[in-house]
């Protein structure tokens, strides 16, 4: 069942939240060793929350998500529960408060099952950089689930959690959604509060959701979105009723097909699956308009200057003094800093800190960081021009289906290129969603939709129209059906 279906069943009395929660806890216990999707499971806390949800429903109160279980990416602070960010640096950190996302979904009556594995500090595209080991794709255990929200994606795809939170800095919700056959939504920058979400790159990070269906994503976004005075980047704009707008007709919709996404690098069968989905929209009455975003190919080099620069600044707080990993018997303060950070951070995090420190250093700031921000403005301008002509942009989410574990881990540049279609939306702060559109040799393929700022309602309606006409989102990995 989807989260929406579970919610309807709970409100009708077909089953209780305690029964549903126990079911998912049993599935986690049975399957997590094969997937490594969860870092922490909280069965006692989950069952207590489920009993409270049942009492709420019995009083005739609560909402569409009351009593529905979920998993949180281990980058969101959770009061009294380990918040590790997939790193040795925070492998002993128990958060003293809830992130706004956690707080709001709890207020909606959702039941937290636990915290999911992730690339260390959200830095990765395959969920292989975690201190707790790689996550495995439920469709093929020898392949990656995508990253950095790979634990959340694997948990929902394997149906050991009905829905999960994620974060997206350069594609870290949409890319794993595509590789595991899920719906993955990255809202507009500022739509969802970042308070209590451990920062990687502050101008790019955005919380979102991984779900089985667009309806689920709409329900969860409605609960988690909205202004938060505790987050200086939160935008005070109304939150629409996302579910109410899902039944819109596609007749007259103008779809921009991004020419740059269908060139060299896109695997042929993946491209064919995406083209078939575009033909499906044409059959629904939409108009396809091929257009060019000439600066979009520069998004990867731009991102890998901006993001490491911000990461270098944000991660300076992890120094072995206040919280997190501390080396044993430091000789002096300098030794404490150097050994604590050297031991606490993994190779990819160190690579990005070093890159970021370099591009921000005297003599290189103008040559790299300032120039990257100028190119970022050009990319943003390309999107603005495109949305003057069309309502939504479409293309593939990833160039290929899931690749083998270990295939790219020693080649950072090849790994970075796996996010080539997703990074542009982050640089421009735009909402984007990935939905399943086919299988290639038994592995899922994703269709990406990008909309103007704060157009999540339209984006969800357009994505939902595809799911009314197809059943790719209903496919379950054979070993977990």
Q: Which residues are catalytic?
A: 73, 148, 172
CA–CA separation, 55 and 376 (whole Å)? 50
**Residue 365 DSSP label:** I
Q: What is the DSSP string of 27-80?
A: HHHHHHHHH--EEEE-HHHHHHHHHHHHHHHHTT---TTTT-EEEEETTB-BTT
- Kindly give the pairing relationship between strand 392-396 and strand 254-258: parallel
Number of neighbours of residue 330 by Cβ within 10 angstroms: 15
Characterise 324 by phi-psi region: left (phi > 0), alpha (psi -120 to 50), beta (else): left
Bridge partner residues of 40 (DSSP): 115
Q: Compute the Cα dihedral for 40, 432, 472, 11 and give only its sign.
A: positive
The 3 state secondary structure assigned to 156-223 is HHCCCCCEEEEECCCCCCHHHHHHHCCEEEECCCCCECCCCECCCCCCCCCEEEEECCHHHHHHHHHH
Instruction: Please report, for residues 252, 287, 288, 394, 400, the alpha-carbon distance to residue 272 in angstroms, rounded to integers and kept in the order given.
Output: 24, 19, 16, 14, 12
């Amino acid at each position: 069942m989807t989260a929406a279906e579970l919610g309807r069943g709970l409100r009708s009395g077909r089953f209780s939240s305690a029964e549903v929660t126990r079911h998912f806890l049993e599935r986690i216990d049975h399957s997590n060793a094969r997937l490594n999707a969860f870092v922490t499971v909280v069965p006692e806390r989950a069952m207590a929350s489920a009993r409270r949800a049942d009492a709420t429903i019995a009083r005739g109160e609560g909402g569409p998500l009351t009593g529905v279980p979920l998993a949180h990416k281990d980058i969101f602070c959770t009061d009294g529960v380990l918040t590790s960010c997939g790193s040795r640096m925070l492998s002993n950190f128990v958060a003293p408060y809830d992130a706004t996302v956690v707080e709001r979904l709890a207020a909606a009556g959702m039941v937290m099952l636990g915290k999911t594995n992730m690339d260390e500090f959200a830095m990765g595209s395959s969920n292989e950089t975690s201190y707790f080991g790689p996550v495995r794709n439920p469709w093929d255990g020898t392949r990656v689930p995508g990253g950095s929200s790979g634990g959340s994606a694997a948990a929902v795809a394997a149906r050991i959690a009905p829905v999960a939170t994620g974060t997206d800095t350069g594609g870290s919700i949409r890319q794993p959604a595509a590789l595991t056959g899920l719906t993955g939504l990255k809202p507009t920058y500022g739509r969802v509060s970042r308070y209590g979400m451990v920062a990687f790159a502050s101008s790019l990070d955005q919380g979102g959701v991984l779900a089985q269906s667009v309806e689920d994503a709409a329900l969860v976004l409605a609960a988690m979105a909205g202004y938060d005075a505790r987050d200086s980047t939160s935008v005070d704009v109304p939150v629409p009723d996302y579910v109410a707008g899902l039944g819109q007709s596609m007749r007259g919709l103008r779809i921009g097909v991004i020419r740059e996404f269908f060139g060299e690098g896109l695997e042929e069968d993946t491209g064919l699956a995406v083209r078939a989905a575009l033909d499906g929209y044409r059959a629904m009455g939409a108009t396809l308009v091929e257009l060019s975003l000439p600066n979009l190919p520069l998004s990867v080099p731009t991102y890998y200057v901006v993001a490491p620069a911000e990461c270098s600044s944000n991660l300076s707080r992890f120094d072995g003094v206040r919280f997190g990993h501390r080396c044993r018997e430091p000789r002096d303060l300098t030794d404490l800093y150097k050994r604590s950070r050297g031991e606490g951070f993994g190779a990819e995090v160190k690579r990005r800190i070093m890159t970021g420190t370099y591009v921000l250093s005297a003599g290189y700031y103008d040559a790299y960081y300032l120039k990257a921000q100028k190119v970022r403005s050009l990319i943003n301008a390309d999107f603005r021009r495109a949305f003057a002509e069309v309502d939504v942009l479409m293309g593939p989410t990833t160039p290929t289906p899931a690749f083998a574990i270990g295939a790219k881990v020693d080649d950072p540049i090849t790994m970075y290129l796996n996010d080539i279609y997703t990074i542009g939306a982050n640089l421009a702060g735009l909402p984007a969603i990935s939905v399943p559109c086919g299988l290639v040799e038994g592995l899922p393929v994703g269709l990406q939709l990008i909309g103007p700022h704060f157009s999540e309602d339209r984006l969800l309606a357009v994505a939902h129209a595809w799911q009314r006409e197809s059943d790719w989102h209903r496919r379950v990995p054979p070993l977990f059906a």
